[in-house]
Structures are given as C-alpha cells and as structure tokens.
Structure 1
Amino acid sequence: MKKTIKNARVNRITHLIQEYNIDKVVHIRGQYNCLPDYLSRYSKEQFDDLFDIEYGLASKTLSTLSSSAPNNDTNNITSDSLVSSTNPKLLAAMTLRPRKNRLYYAEESISRDSDIHNHHDSTDTSNSTFNRKSKVTSKFSQNYFDVAKLQFEQDRDPKIQNIIKKLSTTSNHSSFILEDSKLYKVISHQNNSNRIIKALYLPSSMINSLLKACHDDPLTGAHFSTDRMYYKIRSHFWWPRMKIDIQCYVKSCSLCTQFNIDRAKRYGHLHSIPPPEGPFSLVGIDFCGPLPRTPRENQYVLVITDYFTRYITAIALPNCTAETTARALFDDFFCKFGIPSAILSDRGTHFLNTLMENIKNLIGYNHIYSTPYHPQTNGVVERFNATFVAQISKLQNTQHNNWDEYLQAVVFAYNTGVHKSTKFSPYELLYGCAARLPIHSRSQHFTFLKPNDYFEQLKKTLRVFHQASRENILLQQQANQEYYNKNRLDPQLKLGDKVLRRIYISKGKLDPKFSPIPNIVVELHHPMYVVEDEYTGIRSQVHISDLRPLIST
C-alpha cells in the first residue's frame, strides 16, 4: 500500500482497508452480490433508521395498569418502565416506513400517538383532528396573493392613477374601463373576436406575489410552464410586459431548473478537432467492454485510433488495469508505429494513474484527458466502438464466446474500407497503396522498380493522399457542425455566474436532474467551464451541455 494513487476515492478506500488483515479480494458480479451493490447506490442523505419505534398498541392489562395508577403518577409511566415490568401482556407493533417519506410519517405518528393517549378525552381528540386537518390544508394554501388588497394597491400605483385621470377626461380611451373604483383592461381574444374579457390591472407591487401564487403553490400552480401560467392569469389579471415577467419568473425558479426535463437540444455547439499534420500525430484510446469472457480469458478491447488516417489498432485484453494498459500500448503500438505527439483519452483509472504518468514522462508524449461525462471529446474512438461491437456480434459463435478470434479480421476489414470523412481507406493513407484482398486476382507478372524510384513515387502518392484527406475531413467536419448546431442554443457564461450541474449518478424518477447546490463559474474556456462548488469549494471542468444557468429575478 505504499504506491501513490491520485484517485481520491481509491486512495480513501486504501486507507480504510489497512485496518484489516485481508488475504484476498474477490470480485463478485452485482447481480449475485446485491447487498454491496445496494450500499454503493444508497444515498447517505436518507435516514438510516427504518423503523418507527414510537408505534405500539397496549394490551388490556396495560390499560388496566394505566387506569389503576394514581393521577399524579400517570405522566411518570414510561415505555421503558412498562417493558421492564413483570407484565408479559404487552402488545407492540413495529411499522416499516419508506425512507423518503419518513418526515411525513413522523408527523403522522405524533398525531396518532396523541390520539391513542387521549382516546378517552373527547376535547383533545377533536383538537388533534383539527391539527391534522390544518397541517394538510397548510401545505396547499400558502396565501401568497391577497386579492382584497388590490383596491388599496391600485390607489397607490402612479401608473394606474395616471390612466384613471385620462379616463375621466377622455372618452375615446377604450382599452381601459373603470368599474367599482377598479381599473380593468379590455382584452379581445384573437381566436374569437366576439369574446371580450375584462381583466383587472394588477399593480406592480402585487405582481411578484401573484406569480408566486400561480407557480409555487401546489394547488394553483404546481410549478407548471410559462404558457400554463399565462393562460391561467390572463383571464383575471393584466399588466404591461405580462408574458415576459412570467417567463422570467419560471426561468428563475430553482426547483424547475433542477427537476424539469430537457425538451430542447442540449446547450453547446459542436467544436471539431482540426486534422493533425500527419499519421500518428494525435491518437485516441479507449476501452470497450466488459464483453463476454472468451476461452482465452479476454474480456476487454483497447482501441487506438489515429485521428489523421483513421487507422485502427485493437488489442484484446483480459482486464483493463493500468499495468495491462501500459504493456499493451508499449508492445502493440509504440513498438510498431512509434511514439505519437499526443494521446487523447477519458479520465478512467486505467489511463489516469501514476504508471501512465511515468511512461508519458519517460517516453515523451502529451496525454490529453477529455471532459468528464462528455464522450464527444473523443468521438472518433467512440464511433468505432459502436461500429465494431455490432460486427463482432454477427460473426462470433454465441455458444463459445470466441469474439476475440474475429477481432483482427474485423479491424482489417475496417482499415481497408473507404472512410466517409477522408474518402480514402486508412490503409491507403498509411501505406500509400490499396491493400490486396482475397477477392483480387493473382498477378501474372511482376515489375521491379529501383528502390529510389519507388520511394519517390510513394512520397508523391502519400502527399496527394494526405492533402486530399485533410480537405475531405474539413468538409465533413463543417457539414457535421451545420447539422449538429441547427436549432441548438450556445449560451456564453460569464465569470461569477451561478449554474447547476447535471447529475449523472444513479437516481430515481423523482430525483432532481441537476444538483441543488449552486456552482460559480471561475474560468472560461467555452464550451468548457471551470466551476466551483459554492459550499465545498471543489473545482471541476464541465461542458456547457451539463450546466443550467440560474437566473435571478
């Protein structure tokens, strides 16, 4: 345990297990090891106690004991003294409660217990019943908006008083009318011109309370959308810029920001990686798996993709540990194709570790890590993973799981096919000629050129291929950007803006989609942003598609 680990979670677990004398650690699949799997997903914010211990029913003997006790000592009888007494006829009930609703059940249990203890007191029973009803009613009637104050607030509003003065002097002002000392706005529906509505002119001092009542209250608004609020309000009230104010209020609602489902496309335009200067300047690596274990004990595939030629190298491996990854990269890629200028990968522990860091410093290349939860950064590799898994599934023997026997054949077929972006096959861009396949006829004669002539011809061919390939890649990237960015918003955040981060951990259907804790933007690298947790101060790099700005009213 002397090895330095930069992964905070692994490092924390390492310190914890040092307290125990562990001989062997065995991995068991989650479907056969339910308890640890449950504990790893169980939210620590939820209550740990499953039982409502206050629930219970006393037996007849207990009732007799309580009634026979002196009046001044009745309140001193506790559950502990009753349990410790010699009376064996105590009937107790243990009730399981859902964890998330425990607060509600706790309130209900207090009411039920008070009903049990005061069962013979009719006055107390009626009071407890009233308390229960008032609690339920208070959840749905917050009284945010008091329409009785409207007359008083209209008299105080200078804009409304100015309109009333104009009405008294001008008879042609038909869009407003004054009835019972209250100012109304006359509105005609666009769908039906014969229908006219008289809506009360709402003073500016009461706008916020009405919006709160029509959006936050469970009975009136229930956090529905802008259109529902607008149609619900416009038949009764009116004020200038009414729909804009409603829209701003809904956008500024923190609960709506956390829980609402994305109906539109996610934020952020597509920013493609420019094509490198030549083959193996930039390569992307990623693991595909776990796949069904083969007789050769292989379960993972390390995929290495050249960003210029799109040439694929795939290595079947038994696991995805850091040591196995480093060995495969060195033996099957570095020693065959040379050292790339840069390697792009995700932030998995098999890539982000001390061993890979030491190899990078020893051999000499740059290692670029993608943004968390944003696989589009390494999209070239991710796209091939989706392609080759389907091809292997068609070829393998399902009874023997021998997909690794077909892996290299599938990769060769891919490398010798024309790529959509480059308009050349990866094999041609790398070797300067097309691969000879079994479908080709055998050559009847051979022409031997001088080595120097072949070298010059190869250089010219590769120069033409590479230039055309780079132009084709740029054209394809431009087409992809136009298609991806169509009807997609690309908001630009500023320093100090408050945002909510998307939650990717396992969650239930009623859990928020975005974190309730605000984050503050501290660095700008659009479309990437470095945000800082407002409570913990931890900084993270997040893509704009995983952020929702908090709008203040």
Structure 2
Amino acid sequence: MLTSMARFVAKSAQHALPLFKLLRKETAFEWTEECEGALQHLKRALSEPLVLTRPVEGEKLYLYLAVAAEAISAILIRETEQGQKPVYFVSRALQGPELRYLQIEKIALAVIMAARKLRYYFLAHFIIIRTDQPVKQLLARPNMVGRMLKWSLELAEFDISFESRKALKAQVLADFVAEMTTSTTSEKNKWTIFVDGSSNSQGSGAGIILENGDGVLIEVSLGLSFPTTNNQAEYEAFLAGLRLAEDMGAEEITIFTDSQLVASQVSGEYQTKEERLLEYLNLIRAKLAKFKETEVKHVPREHNARADVLSKLASTRRKKAGNQSLIQETLTKPSIEKTAEVMHICAVDEQSWMSPVYNFLKSNTLPIDAKEAAKIRKRACSYVLLDDKLYRRGFSIPLLKCVEEARVEFILQEIHEGINGQHIGGRSLARKALRAGYYWPTMQNDARNHVLKCDKCQRHGDMHLAPANELKTMISPWPFAWWGMDILGPFPTAARQVKYLIVAVDYFTKWIEAEPLAKISAPNILRFFKRDVLARFGIPQVVVTDNGTQFTNKKFQEFLAAIGTTQHFTSVEHPQTNGQAEAANRVLLRGLRRRMGASKGNWTEELHNVLWSYRTTPHSTTGETPFRLTYGTEAVIPVEIGEPSSRIEYPLEEDVNNELLREELDLVEELRTGASLREVTLKQKIAARHDKRIIKREFEVGGLVLRRNQKDAREGKLAANWEGPYRVRAKTENGAYHLEDLYGKEIPRTWNAEKLKQYYTLDANIHARRGNTPCEPHRRSVQARQSTQLAMGCSTLRGIVSNEEIFLDSSLGASQTLGQFPKLLGNGAYDPRHQEATVIVRRALA
C-alpha cells in the first residue's frame, strides 16, 4: 500500500524508513516509537491526501529536491495563477554504497531518480530544477569523472535547466524543503578556502579545500607538470582556489594559507620584488576584485594539514562532512603564462554548427521557434564552455574540442597525410581525430570524403577483383570467319634463333595454327597470316588482336582493309577480350612444358606434335575435335597403328571409303550446328556464373578516371597501382571506354571498366581544363601547381596563365579581359572551400 500511495505522499520513503527496516527478514520484529511515529505520519498524510494536477502540454514544470541521511525525495510542480500545484511525488531509500555517497552526490542522485521515474514528464516538458546547492556547477565541470560524469551524460537527453530556489508560495513546498534548509542564502555564498603548495625533486602540487556555510566541502588535488619553486606553487594553489570559488558562485571568501610570504604580499604588508611573483600577485588581485568581500589569513601549518597533504598527494584522514567532493587535476603551464590571443570579431562564426549551442551557453540566447529552442537546450547539456571555447563531453576522453568547418580540412589533412600520417582509411581517420580530442557532427562523413578524394590513396588503392560488367560472349557465325591472333614467348632460343611463337585460332572449330619466329616484326606476322590463314582457310570476316605494335602496323592494317577483313583490338591490359587466343596459348604452353625434357632448346621439334594432339582431342565447349569440325571426319592417330582399330584392321575399299567421306561432308553441317549449340549453352552458363560476382562500375562521359598503372620496373614494390587522371571521352557498348588526357588529347585504344576507377578531386580546374595543349613548360607548371594544390588540400586556383589559355574562376564569368586579370592575381586570396568548376577564356595575344 505504501508503494502504491507514494505518489501522493511527500518524502514517503524518508518517513517510512522505520517500517521498511522493521519488515526486513534479518531483523527481529520490535515495534518502537520511531515505527509508531512513522505510522501516525502516514495516517495523517493519507487522511488528507494532496490533490495532484495534470500538466498542460508544453508547460514548464519545476522540480524541488530533498535529501536526508538515508533517503532522497523530489516533487514535481506546476505554477499556475492559483499558485504552485503538485504533479507528482517520488522518493526512495538509499541502499548499500549509496549511503556513503557525498551529500552533493546524493543531491545529484535525487535528480537522476526523478528523471528515471518521471521520464515521460521529463521528455514532454521543459524541467527547471530549483536548488541552492551547486549541482549545476559540479555537473558542468570538465574534470568530473565516475558516476557524476555518467549522470551528467544521462541528463543530457532531457530539456532541463537549473535556477536558484525562489519564495515558496505553497505550504506543501515549505514542508517539503524544510529539512533541506540549513542556512540562509547569504551564508551559503560565504566560502572558506584552505590552500597549500609544495615543490620537490619529484614534482610540484597544490591542495585546495573549499567549504561553505551549508557544509558543502570540496577538496582538490592539483598536479603541476611544469617546474616551480615553493613560492610559485603556493601562488598556483591560491589562484586555483580563487578560480574554483568563482565557479561555485561564491561572493564572500576567506582564504587561509600557511605561507607567511604569500599572505603578506597579497595583503600588501610585504613588497614583491621578484618579477615572476609580481605577475602572480597582479593576477590574484584581479581575481579578488571579482568577489564582494575577501579576507586573506595566515595560519600555522598544523591548522592547514589537510591542504598540505593534498598538495603532496598523500593519504590522510578526511575531514568529516556531509557534503564532500574530491577533484584531481593537472596544470600543464603556469597560470601567469599568457596564451597567444587572436583578435576576434565573434568567437564563433554565426554560420557555424556550434553557433546555437555556443550562444545558449554564453548568453542564454535561444531561437524564437519553441521546438528548435528545446532541441538546442537538450544538445547543450552535452557541451561545456571553457575559456570561451566550446567542448563536448566525450566517452573516450573527457573533453572533445569542437571544431569549426574552416579547420576541419586542416585537421583531417594533417592526420591523414601529415608528417605523422600514413593515409589511413576513412573510419580510422575519424576515430583518430576523435582520440586526438576533436569533434564536429559530420566527422565520419567528412573523413570518408577526404580519403575518397585523396590523390595518393586513389593511386595506391587496391585492385578491383570483381567484374565490372556482364560477360560478353563471342560466337563465330561459321568456320574460319573469326580468328584470334596473339604472340607467345619468349622461349629458349632454338634452331634458326627462333624464340617466339605466333598463334592463330579459329573461334568456331578451335583450330590452331602456330609458327616459330625469330623476330616478331610486322612483315613476319603478315607473311604468317597470308600463308597459314588466308591460303588454307580463306578470307576471314574478323581478326581479333591485342594492341602490340606488330598488329597496329600500318601495312598490316592496310592489308586487312584491302581484303575486307575487320580488325578488332582488345582493351588495354584486358586479354579476356581475346580469350580464345589466350586459351590457345595456355594449351600450347602446357603441352610444350610437359613434353620437354632436360633440353629446352628443341621446343620447335615438339610444336607440331602438340598441335597434332590438340587438333585430334575433343574440345570441352564443342564436344568435337577441331579436326572433325574442319574436315568432317576424324584423323588417324598413332595409337591406331600400334593397336589397330577397326578402320585400320578392316580397311574399306577405296571407292567405298571415298563415298563415305563425301557423305560425311554432306552431314558436317549438322555436326557443326550441334557443336555450335553446345558451345552457346556452355558459354551462357559461364556468363551466368560470372555475372553473379559483378559490382557494377560505370563512368560518365566527361568524368575523371584512373587507369591501371603499367608499372615501371625501377619503382618495384613502391609503384602505384593506378595512374592518371584521364577524362572519359566516349563509352562503347561492351563496357570499354575511350579516354583523353586533361588537355583533350585522345588516348589510343579503349580501356575496359575493370581496369578503371573513378577519380575524385578537390581541384575543380581539372574538370574544365581542355582544349589546345599548352606548351611543355606550361604543362609542367600546371602539373606542379596541381600537385601542390592537392597536397595543401585547396579546392581551386584563382588563375593559370599561358600563351594560349587563361583559366579563370567561374564566379568571375567568361567575359573577363586580360586587363582585368592582373587584378585577380594581385588579390592573391582564395576560398579553400570553393568547389565550383572553372571556365577557359581564350584570347589572342597582341
């Protein structure tokens, strides 16, 4: 019953504690006066229950807190014209380690309890927590760790704020906070500060103890990571105490120190001659002027023992206090050391993502729109202002410096490709920036884009393994209509100095012709083609070759054109285009390897044996031997002589044999049709299996690409995988592309999409630079500027001048004259975030 009625009873857990203890299993049942008092109090509360009210949507609600030794309570109220009306009471008893919490931690725990139990109210309303305790200051301190930091982050999702407690209009509130009120407001603003500093060979430190009239006690152990004297350490402790008192909202302070020198110099009794101590003294006096009333006293060391112990980071018995907190910090530089400051018109750019949160924390400025204001208040709980700089509370490290958009590129560039960078990936880049202590909302996306546009990362990127387009199968319409030609070698030098092999294969019958050559010159290739292809099988319709100089020779091409044969070239570094010739090469090479003994120089003697074996072996795609598809019958092979087969053992008469051969020729058309169907079926299955692995890659005409690098042996393992960039000039139907350089000069031969990758750049000039090729010195200058620009992370150059072209920023328009252009160069400034393309203005120079 107590639990179900708790929402109607103020501080129900606190008043029912004797009953809860009585009902525990390990406690003997004994009815005491405390139990009787608790029961009577609950009876009175339930006999006159408070009328709870329901809040209006969007209405502000107020939270009051009460903390006892073994229980915490909270009341949620709304303020109306009729007065303050309760909405909900929550309370609970403290258990286990919670009983040993510091008083200030219990107050924070009361806020957390209310936020958890009244979550729906906290999510739907703007909550104002009214308390005279320094909960807000402690939760906002950047050096808080442990549960206080955890609670601060938990409260960040709610739209809450803190304010001092005002006059209590309702009796229920007066009763609720009565036990919490132990001193007047003026007394709570009076703080006593004990400070002490120490310096020895092992290091320096400072100890600070703050205590107010309400019993709030804060202890600070401050490490100094820079060399100091004893007097300087005393001054650092004094300054740290003043800063902490200012953060806590103190108005009247009394400072005790066991240093006679510091106390006398601050009070003006002693003169300060040392220049460095004089700087400390001036800074202290400026701090003291911010308080309404200050007093500095000297005390014996034994009266300042705790501060002395804190300064030496030693252990000692804590001073007993109900509201106590220990903070450990480290100063990295002296307090009097001036930081280089830059004159700012505004600390944060109004267009920056930080501007709304910064303005709210700095001057409590919010947008007019209520929803937007609520969103900013919630976001602001995760941020803190230190020295007029915005920091975000982090999980990996306590504070993350918020970065404006203008500095993002520098941070990413320095981490990614600076002196300590190794061109890591986008995800690692974002996490490294985070661990370095920086934050902005689009870290991961910006890091990915930076890596995506990094020139070196693109050039040294991994090779593509997955196919880029569907497999295009090539089927010859009739025997000896399509031929594939290729060169195989070099082989060990054989008789007549031959070391190469010219290979031609028919796409329909899979018939192979091959001839050893000493030189793979164009005349030798042409002679082989005439003798072994034309003279034996007739004029072909198509010849497929690679891009070797022997096949691109003018005389060879003119001869093919004269006989009406079309020559198809494979894409550069894409031998799959002429896959039939590559397969023939593998067959011949495998056969020669297996037939060679210790002597490799007689490979030419074995070539005809390998060809004979291949021509009389059924092919996997057609199911027939190349010999039968060519001549209509099977050839006699040596094994039929050693072990006579039926046609050798019982030979037919010549007339009958000739008649059967003619019949075979009449039926060869059916044989070839069946072989062609089997080949088509098999290639369709291969294509289907191939197409399952496709990762589609298409490039737009005019876009920039990198192509597979033809590696230089001098670069070895350090050679880049890709080179370029090039511009896409045209696209073919079979997934190949015609390319051009950045000045419009066409690159010979096509490149398959598998050997290309998209190029991303920050240099907008690259996209629009085309036309007449500049002179060589200017080309080198442009390339040097591009490299410098990419390395610096700039997005565009203002202008590049040559004898033929002027590259101008598109924002200036294409009507700029040569008379106006020097003004552009004289300006010398550019916007590194500018991403627009540039235009070319050509003018004839007088």
Common fold: TM-score over 0.5: yes
Who is 1:520 aligned against? Answer: 727
Residue 497 of structure 1: CA displacement?
Answer: 0.7
Is the partner of 2:536 in helix, strand or coil? helix
Q: How does 1:446-457 map to 2 (within 5 A)?
A: 446=652, 455=662
Question: C-alpha deviations, 1:30-69, integer Å up to 9, x for none?
Answer: xxxxxxxxxxxxxxxxxxxxxxxxxxxxxxxxxxxxxxxx
The aligned amino acid for 2:451 is V
1:276 to 1:264, Cα distance in 2 relative to 1, 3 A: closer
Q: 2:674 aligns with which of 468, 490, 493?
A: 468
Distance in 2 separating the partners of 1:196 and 1:546: 44
Alpha-carbon distance in 2 for matches of 1:231, 1:147 = 29
Classify 1:176/1:147 alpha carbon distance in 2 versus 1 (closer, same or farther; 3 Å): farther
Please say if residues 265 and 488 of structure 1, whose CA atoms lie closer than 8 Å, have aligned partners that are also in contact. Answer: no
- Aligned-pair CA distance for 1:212: 1.9
Partner in structure 2 of residue 300 of structure 1? 500
Q: Look up the match of 2:382.
A: 177
Q: Compare the two structures and name the one with the higher strand fraction.
A: 2
Match of 1:210 among 395, 411, 418: 411
CA distance in 2, matches of 1:243, 1:148: 32
Q: Which residue of 2 aligns with 1:43?
A: none
Q: CA 1:204–1:450 in structure 2 vs 1: closer, same or farther (change >3 Å)? A: same
Cα distance between partner residues in 2 of 1:360 and 1:400: 36
Inter-partner Cα distance in structure 1 for 2:470 and 2:610: 30
SS in 1 for 2:760: coil
Measured against aligned partners, the alpha-carbon deviations of 1:313-332 in whole angstroms (never above 9, x if no partner) come to 11223322222222222222
Contact kept, 8 Å, 2:546 with 2:575, in 1: the verdict is yes
| Amino acid across the alignment from 1:519 | Y
TM-score (norm 1): 0.63
Question: Do residues 254 (structure 1) and 482 (structure 2) align?
Answer: no
Q: Which amino acid aligns with 1:429?
A: L
Query: 1:375 — aligned with what?
Result: 575
Distance 2:394 2:497 in 1: 76
- The alpha-carbon deviation at position 416 of structure 1 amounts to 1.8
Structure 2 letter corresponding to 1:503: N
Alignment check: 8 A CA contact 1:395 1:406 kept: yes
> In the TM superposition, what are the counterparts of 1:103-502 in structure 2 within 5 Å?
152-153=347-348, 157=352, 161=356, 165=366, 173=378, 177-180=382-385, 199-219=400-420, 221-235=421-435, 236-258=437-459, 260-262=460-462, 264-265=464-465, 268-269=468-469, 271-399=471-599, 401-440=601-640, 441=645, 442-446=648-652, 455=662, 458-463=665-670, 465-502=671-708
The separation in 2 between residues aligned to 1:197 and 1:469, in whole angstroms, is 74
Deviation for aligned residue 1:298 = 2.9
Point out the structure with max Rg over C-alpha: 2
Matched residue SS, 1:406: helix
Distance 1:417 1:454, change over 3 A: closer
- Taking a change above 3 Å as real, the CA distance of residues 332 and 170 of structure 1, as seen in their structure-2 partners, is closer
For residues 523 and 447 of structure 2, the distance between their equivalents in structure 1, rounded to whole angstroms, comes to 58
Code of the residue aligned with 1:533 in structure 2: it is D
Task: After TM superposition, give the deviation of residue 156 of structure 1 in Å.
Answer: 5.1
Counterpart code for 1:281: A
Over 3 Å counting, the alpha-carbon distance change for 1:172 and 1:423 in structure 2 is farther
- Match of 1:543, as an amino acid? N
Change beyond 3 A, Cα 1:196–1:206 = closer
Q: Is the 8 A contact 1:291 1:299 kept in 2?
A: yes
Cα deviation for residue 250 of structure 1 reads: 0.6
- Aligned-residue offset at 1:270: 5.1
Deviations 1:222-259 (A, max 9, x none): 3222232122123434444432321121111112212x
Structure 1: state its 5+ residue gaps.
Answer: 1-145, 189-194
SS in 2 for 1:420: coil
Q: Secondary structure in 2 aligned to 1:152?
A: coil
Alpha carbons of structure 1 residues 147 and 155: separation in structure 2 relative to 1, 3 Å: farther
C-alpha contact 1:497 1:520 (8 A) present in aligned 2: yes
| Distance change in 2, residues 1:300/1:496 (3 Å) | same
Contact 1:175 1:187 in 2 (8 A): no
Q: Can you give the 5+ residue segments of structure 2 that lack an aligned partner in the other structure?
A: 1-340, 361-365, 763-846
Q: Secondary structure at the match of 1:315?
A: strand
Higher mean Cα deviation, 391-400 or 443-452? 443-452
Quick one: distance in 1 between partners of 2:381 and 2:509? 71
Structure-2-length-normalised TM-score = 0.43
Q: CA deviation at 1:343?
A: 0.9
Query: Does structure 1 retain, via aligned residues, the 8 Å contact 2:484–2:545?
Result: yes
Counterpart CA distance in 2 for 1:297 and 1:170 is: 84
Residues 170 and 378 of structure 1: CA distance in aligned 2, closer, same or farther (over 3 Å): closer
Q: Provide, for residues 81-111 of structure 1, a one-character-per-residue CA deviation record: whole Å limited to 9, x for no partner.
A: xxxxxxxxxxxxxxxxxxxxxxxxxxxxxxx
Q: Which residue of 2 aligns with 1:78?
A: none
Report the more deviating stretch, 430-439 or 445-454.
Answer: 445-454
Letter in 2 for 1:393: R
Farther-moved stretch of structure 1 (312-321 vs 466-475): 466-475
Q: 1:245 to 1:443 in 2, by over 3 A?
A: farther
The answer to whether the 8 A contact 2:470-2:694 is kept is: no
Give the number of equivalent residue pairs.
397
Distance 1:405 1:288 in 2: 16
The 1:232–1:381 alpha-carbon spacing in structure 2 relative to 1, beyond 3 Å, is same
Q: Which residue of 759, 772, 794 corresponds with 1:550?
A: 759
Aligned partners of 2:619, 2:496: CA distance in 1, in Å? 32
Larger relative contact order (Cα-Cα within 8 Å, sequence gap ≥ 6): 1
* Contact preservation (8 Å) 1:294, 1:404: yes
Q: 1:451-494: per-residue Cα shift (whole Å, max 9, x none)?
A: 7886565444432x333333333333334334445544331111
Whole-Å separation in 1 of the counterparts to 2:649 and 2:348: 97
What is the CA–CA distance in structure 2 between the aligned matches of 1:398 and 1:147, rounded to whole Å? Answer: 81
